[in-house]
A = this chain, B = another copy of it.
């Protein structure tokens, strides 16, 4: 039997995992909205972000309540504080998906992304969605190996981000300034999405091992 404190903490952990599920749907649907110029999907991603924000507030309240009632110390205290930080990062991932959906909405009925780069954006979404799934798994299992893998996978997102910038700056850009501005922002949103997953991963590593990961593991990254 788990004691009351750990039961409450499990509940918080479940909510964080639920947040990652919601964010995973958000990034997938925001990308669909973007690549297919799908206004309805864009609108629904934007609206659904309120639910992620609300769940984050609940996690925060529950953490503060747990601190007040149980007055944990040492690792237990660190787990509660970490949960609040993770909730903040995951909520921000939802915001970034919403930003992507907003670009889709702003450009509708036209598309925001030229055909040539749509494939790279689709790859960014795949890596991003995979990252957030692994983030949920890492939280659920307090899984350091999964956390380290998140940091490695994020390198792919950074690489795709660089590919986008090389495309923009290579001298062959022929889609005009507005498309360049939109693509700059969009690519930045996916890149930041990955950074927040790494931040969560980093916190899991710290929680479990008591020290931050090494630079070799890609866990000491600066956004």
Instruction: Name A's B-contacting residues (CB within 8 A).
Output: 63-64, 67-68, 71, 73-74, 77-78, 81, 84-85, 88, 95, 165, 168-169, 173, 177-178, 180-181, 184-185, 188, 222-223
- Contact sample, A vs B, 27 pairs, CB 8 Å cutoff: A63-B81, A64-B77, A64-B78, A64-B81, A67-B67, A67-B77, A67-B81, A68-B73, A68-B77, A71-B71, A81-B84, A84-B84, A84-B85, A85-B88, A95-B223, A165-B181, A168-B177, A168-B181, A169-B178, A169-B181, A177-B177, A180-B180, A180-B181, A180-B184, A184-B184, A184-B185, A188-B188
Q: In terms of DSSP, what is the predominant structure of the interface of chain A?
A: helix
Kindly report which residue of chain B lies nearest to residue A60, judged by CB atoms.
Answer: B81
CA distance A81 to B194 in the complex (A): 26
A195 to B185, CA, bound (A): 17
A198 to B63, CA, bound (A): 23
Q: A177-B177, A181-B184, A185-B188 are in contact. List 20 more A-B contacts (CB 8 A).
A: A63-B81, A64-B78, A64-B81, A67-B67, A67-B77, A68-B77, A71-B71, A81-B84, A84-B84, A95-B223, A168-B177, A168-B181, A169-B177, A169-B178, A173-B177, A177-B180, A180-B180, A180-B181, A181-B181, A184-B185
For A78, the chain B residues whose CB sits under 8 A away are: 64
A74 and B67 form a contact (CB under 8 A): no
Which chain B residues border A165 with CB–CB below 8 Å?
Answer: 181
Q: Which 4 A-B pairs have the closest CB atoms?
A: A71-B71, A184-B184, A68-B73, A173-B177
B85 close to A74 (CB less than 8 A):
no
Q: Which residue of B lies closest to A95 (CB)?
A: B223
**How distant is A56 from chain B, measured CB to nearest CB, in Å?**
12
Please give, as numbers and ranges, the residues of chain B lying within 8 Å of A85 by CB-CB distance.
Answer: 84, 88
Residues of B within 8 A of A177 (CB): 168-169, 173, 177, 180
Residues A68 and B74 in contact, CB atoms below 8 Å apart = yes
By beta carbon, the residue of chain B nearest A70 is B71
